[in-house]
Amino acid sequence: MDASRYARIRELFFAIEEMPPDAQADFLRAQAGDDQELYDEIMSLLDEHDSECARIEGESAIAVSVPPMQPDLDEHDSPPGSGSSIGTHPGTESPPKGDTTRRGDSQNRTQTDADQRVGGGSAAITKHGAHRTHASPRVKQTNAAKQSSSNNQIWAKRTRNSRRRNSGWLWLAALLPTALIGWWTYRQVESMIIRSIATELKGVVDSMTLSADQFLGEKETLVESWSREPSLRSAIVELNQLAESNPPLDKLKNAKQIDQIRTQLRELSGVEDIKFVVWNDSFRTLASSIQDRRDIGKPVRPADAAYLARVMAGETVTYGPTRLTDEPGTEKPIMAVIVPIHDDSGRIIASMLVRGIGIFEEFNRIFTSIAVAGELDAYAINREGTMITESPRAISKATQGRFDLAPDQIAANLRVSDPGFLITGENAADLQRQVRPVTVAVAGAIASQPDVRTDPYMNYCGESVVGAWQWLPNRQMGVIIETTTDRAFAPARVVRFNFLLLGSLLSLTAFLAATKIARTSTAEHAAVHPLSRYDIQEQLGSGGMGVVFRANHRQLGRDAALKVLRGDRHSPEDQLRFDREARLAASLSNPHSVQIYDYGRSDQGEAYCVMEFLRGLTLQEVVARSGHQPVGRTLSILRQVCDALAEAHSMNLLHRDIKPQNVMLSLDPSVGDWAVIFDFGLAKPLEPDTSVYQTRETIWAGTPMYMAPERFRQPGVMDPRSDIYSVGCIAYYLLSGRPPFIESEPESLFALILSEHPIGIAIHRGEGIPTEVNDLIIKCMAKRPEDRYDSIVDVGRAIDQLRVKHPWTVDEARVWWGHHGGK
């Protein structure tokens, strides 16, 4: 702060000090104009300014005599117990940051007092205009008795403040044991309630899963027994033989075997209007229950081909629940069983679907009975996150107009997505459920991660619930049990209210006593701390070295990621490693590498680094939300990762921890998917500067399942092709939906990486990928570095050639982010 700036602040402060409080802010805003820093500086002075203490100190400053026993004080001394800083007293305003003029005034006043003591006479101190501080008197005083009285008032005020502080600590000392005992008791009660809720939910979801699986198993066994009945099987074998002779379509439609199949199924099931379809091994329809037989000879719908493929492989499959839009009179969802048909030699020659025997109605009744009896919400979902049973709660909400579906359209229609808000209106608008993310329960079930969640989350109605879920892989459906938090935690609310009431009464007085101290300490710390220009919003995560917060720059209004070295990682080597990460990351300028804004240490030794705040999803979250990724999208992401690594490698810098968790993906309106690499905590130069990077490395560093084999054999060897191996692992992960190697024991995992090849992507994916793409991944993940690409630039060139055949457009990216990008 220069002299003119200081003079301007002092001039405005004196002008505002005498104004009524309600007029001060408006006057200052008009005077400061666009200078927000000037406005904030003066307002902070007003907040901490004590006019009474300033008056007393000002009166003391024009002393005409000094008591003979007054102790000498230099600029570093202050009266005992005052806690004041140079030239200030409690309740008076310290000079603005960078202020030297104010300190000079204090020193001049001290020197004048010394002159008075030496001369033994009286002197008058007069301040005029700009030379007067806000602590100086407005009216000149010459009465020695008044000065003595003023000094007494200062010490009395300080004594009162000291007593208040002591009183506050006494209150805290009395409050703390009571608060700890109360908190411990409440936590125990709450813990027991939560365990009880979790046990109830786990028991119900296990029971529901077992009941649903047994019911469907019984239906499959029943239809399998029908398929083995000689007359029925013989009719299907004869019909298949007829079809293999390529007869005219009319002859196939009029085949008597179709009527024989219908008759046999009616007798076996006891259902007059039983529905069935028979397909041959070419997935063409041989027979069905449709009267006009218009579907004979036609292929199966593409969406159902996967079911027939499983059946022709010898598996019995439960089909649905789903809705048939092309069959009149089908209002309810249908469920069916598809079984293989064997000829006399045991070869599978056809598949038969049977429905109309009440499978959906009975299956739905299992969930409805549990929901009604236990005051729970119980329902099943399919792989797409669609509710496939009729939840009583969903039907009730639909009746109230909360959904854009009629009550009888809930099952096999309602996508179980998080509306993102609590629905309170009589007629809620269209929630656009097809583009919002699914609920926590559905996401966990689809990911085959059974869980019991007692931390509240939003359900499809916008209600706060707790729940449990499981996935039945052989049925390709999930079972979800939920209950509202109001019902689950009703007992805990009563206990909480009583404890909060007691705690509020005990803490009120202590809080009031400590408020002033807390404000003063916070203000003083904020005034000198280098991070005071940032508002901390929330903690984003914590790693091995530091804690990352979301912060907002006060003046610029820009979000940033603030990384602070953890309190337990302040050893010299930890600080050097933290320094290294910041310096290495700051040396990169590629837009696909995280940008560094600031770095340094506070006076207390806290190391911090301010980085670009990345919005979006990590690649791990992308796969968790939508499974394996399209080939074109994978190549697009890999190309951007290669761009970032190419710059790093050109600067002889290795990342050494490339993994899905360290690549952030977001939607850029102009280019689509935008990938950024972050976390350079393990980055290492190929030729370290021993004067800067003095960190030892005697163990493996990185995430094992994405580390190149040579990293295990020789951890200290630096080879850019190790990063290429990790890029191949990311490609494998995106295309398969799984890491290349998963093993719980570290020794076993190391052995797999060193000697085995990962399972083929097509096995995980359920479908093949282009050979040239598979070859690229195999070459990147070669066990020997010399068998990989020579450089990351070569990998980028290879990807560019493949992207011509496998594009990924901006519109495709927008569609994906619309469906899966929500929080």
Residue, of 638 and 657, whose pLDDT is higher:
638
Closest CA to 360 of 379, 342, 381, 334: 334
At residue 236 the predicted structure's pLDDT band, cuts being 50, 70 and 90, is very high
- Domain assignment present for residue 521? The answer is no
Q: Is residue 335 located within the same domain as residue 244?
A: yes
Higher pLDDT, 2 or 289: 289
- What pLDDT, on the 0 to 100 scale, is given for residue 600? 81
Of the pLDDT bands very low, low, confident and very high (cuts 50, 70, 90), residue 623 is: very high
Residue 357, φ and ψ in degrees, nearest 5: -110, 25
Cβ-contact 334, 351 below 8 angstroms: no
Q: Where a domain ends, among 357, 385, 400?
A: 357
* Coil, helix or strand at residue 342: strand
DSSP notation for 564-578: EE-TT--SHHHHHHH
The stretch 241-247 carries a mean pLDDT of: 91
pLDDT confidence of residue 745: 61
Which pLDDT belongs to residue 752?
79
- The band of 128, judged by pLDDT with boundaries at 50, 70 and 90, is very low
pLDDT in tens, 358-388: 999 999 999 999 888 878 999 999 999 999 9
**Whether 194 and 279 share a structural domain:** no
| Buried b / exposed e along 722-751 (16+ C-beta atoms within 10 A) | bbbbbbbbbbbbbbbbbbbbeeeeeeebbe
Residue with more model confidence, 575 or 610: 610
Q: Does 320 lie in the same domain as 462?
A: no
Checking if the pLDDT of 431 tops 90, the result is: no
Is 641 or 12 the better-scoring residue by pLDDT? Answer: 641
Q: What are phi and psi of 246, to 5 degrees?
A: 55, 55
Tokens of 750: 């190391």
Residue 705 has pLDDT above 90, yes or no: no
pLDDT surpasses 60 at 658: yes
Closest-CA residue to 642 (of 629, 628, 658) = 658
State mean pLDDT over 12-32: 76
Quick one: average pLDDT of 507-530?
A: 55
Regarding whether 462 and 329 lie in a shared domain, the answer is no
The residue with tokens 């019991």 is: 452
Q: How far apart are CA 221 and CA 243, in angstroms?
A: 28
Residues 67 and 151 in one domain: yes
Determine the average pLDDT of the residues in 477-486: 93
Residue 124 pLDDT > 60: no
368 assigned to some structural domain: no
Sequence-ordered alpha helix ranges (H) in 120-229: 144-227
**Is 523 inside any structural domain?**
no
Same domain, 780 and 667: yes
Which pLDDT value is given to residue 445? 94
User: Does residue 691 share a domain with residue 625?
Assistant: yes
In the predicted model, is pLDDT for residue 134 greater than 50? no
pLDDT, position 34: 79
Check residues 685 and 27 and name the one with the higher pLDDT. Answer: 27
**Is 129 in the same domain as 102?**
yes
DSSP annotation of 705: G
104 pLDDT more than 50: no
Establish if 175 belongs to a structural domain. Answer: yes
pLDDT in the model for residue 386 = 94
Range 696-702 average pLDDT:
41
Residue 527 tokens read as: 């005034």
Instruction: Give the residue with greater pLDDT, 595 vs 665.
Output: 665
pLDDT of residue 181: 76
Q: Is 140 annotated as a binding residue?
A: no
Q: Is the dihedral of CA 581, 587, 591, 596 positive or negative?
A: positive
Q: How far is CA 781 from CA 627, 703, 744, in A?
A: 22, 15, 21
Cα-Cα-Cα-Cα torsion 71, 74, 80, 82, nearest 10 degrees, comes to: 130
Q: What angle do CA 724, 729, 735 make, to 5 degrees?
A: 125
- What does the pLDDT read at residue 337? 96
The answer, yes or no, to whether the previous bond of 321 is cis (omega within 30 of 0) is: yes
Confidence of residue 608 (pLDDT cuts 50, 70, 90): confident
Instruction: In whole angstroms, give the CA distance from residue 95 to residue 618.
Output: 47
pLDDT tens for each residue of 452-475: 999 999 999 888 999 999 999 989
Nearest by Cα to 238 from 222, 256, 254, 263: 256
What is the spatial distance between Cα 599 and Cα 592, in angstroms, rounded to a whole number?
Answer: 20
Looking at 259-268, 327-336, 367-376, 688-697, which range is the least confident one? 688-697
Q: What is the reported pLDDT for 70?
A: 37
- Domain interval for residue 592: 529-612
Taking 3-state DSSP, the helix, strand and coil percentages for the chain, each rounded to the nearest 5, stand at 50, 15, 35
pLDDT, average across residues 325-340: 83
Shared-domain flag, residues 651 and 701 = yes
pLDDT at position 374 is: 76
pLDDT band, residue 167 (cuts 50/70/90): low
Q: What are the φ and ψ backbone dihedral angles of 653, each rounded to 5 degrees?
A: -125, 125
Q: Which two tokens stand for residue 512?
A: 């009031």
Q: What's the rounded mean pLDDT across residues 438-443?
A: 93
- Smallest Cα–Cα separation from 697: which of 563, 783, 580? 580
Mean pLDDT on 724-740 = 94
- What's the CA gap between 358 and 222, in Å, rounded? 13
Q: Which long-range contacts (CB under 8 A, 24 or more apart) does 151-154 make?
A: 151/60, 153/56, 154/53, 154/56, 154/57, 154/60, 154/89
Task: Name residues whose C-beta falls within 8 Å of residue 85's C-beta, 6 or more positions apart in sequence.
Answer: 78, 94
How confident is the prediction for the chain on average, in pLDDT? 77
Q: Which of 390, 156, 150, 349 is CA-nearest to residue 242?
A: 349
Decide if pLDDT at 633 tops 70.
Answer: yes
Q: How many domains is the chain partitioned into structurally?
A: 5
pLDDT in the model for residue 114: 39
Q: Stretch 791-802: mean pLDDT, rounded?
A: 95
% of the chain exceeding 70 in pLDDT: 73
Q: Which of 158-172, 241-255, 516-530, 576-590 has the highest mean pLDDT?
A: 241-255
Report which of residues 276 and 45 the model is more confident about: 276
302: in domain: yes
| Beta strand spans in 29-111 (E) | none
Asked whether the beta carbons of 662 and 675 are under 8 A apart, the reply is no
pLDDT of residue 262: 94
Domain finish residue from 123, 138, 160 = 160
pLDDT of residue 425: 44
Mean pLDDT value across residues 64-68? 36
pLDDT on residue 164? 52
Pairing label, strands 334-342, 317-322: antiparallel
**Is the whole model's pTM more than 0.75, yes or no?**
no
207 found inside a domain: yes
Task: Tell me the CATH number at 751.
Answer: 1.10.510.10
What average pLDDT does the segment 417-437 reach? 60
196 is written with which tokens?
A: 């009880």
- How would residue 519 be classed by pLDDT, with cut points 50, 70 and 90? low
pLDDT band at 38 (very low <50, low <70, confident <90, very high): confident
Which pLDDT value is given to residue 257?
93
Residue 251 pLDDT exceeds 60 = yes
CATH number for the domain harbouring residue 304: 3.30.450.20
Confidence band of 227 (pLDDT split at 50, 70, 90): very high
Among 591, 524, 423, 384, CA closest to 47: 524
Give residue 279's pLDDT.
95
Q: What is the mean pLDDT of residues 691-715?
A: 58
252 has a pLDDT exceeding 70: yes
pLDDT confidence of 118, banded at 50, 70, 90? very low
Residue 231: is its pLDDT beyond 90? Answer: yes
Q: Residue 524 domain-assigned? A: no
4: pLDDT confidence band, cut at 50, 70 and 90? low
Q: What's the burial of 533, exposed, middle or buried (CB within 10 Å: 0-12/13-18/19+)?
A: middle
Is the pLDDT at 626 greater than 60? The verdict is yes
Token digits for 478?
Answer: 């999930």
Measured distance CA(817)–CA(744) in Å, rounded? 33
| Domain stop point among 612, 636, 654 | 612
pLDDT band at 113 (very low <50, low <70, confident <90, very high): very low
| 567 is a domain residue | yes
- 113 versus 399: the higher-pLDDT residue is 399
Decide which of 7 and 806 is more confident. Answer: 806
Q: Are both 353 and 237 inside the same structural domain?
A: yes
> Where does residue 420 fall: left (phi above 0), alpha (psi -120 to 50 degrees), or beta otherwise?
left
**Residues 366 and 212 sit within 8 Å (Cβ to Cβ):** yes
Tell whether 387 and 506 lie within a shared domain.
yes
pLDDT at 92 over 70: no
Same domain, 672 and 797: yes
pLDDT in tens, 264-297: 999 999 999 999 999 999 999 999 999 889 999 9
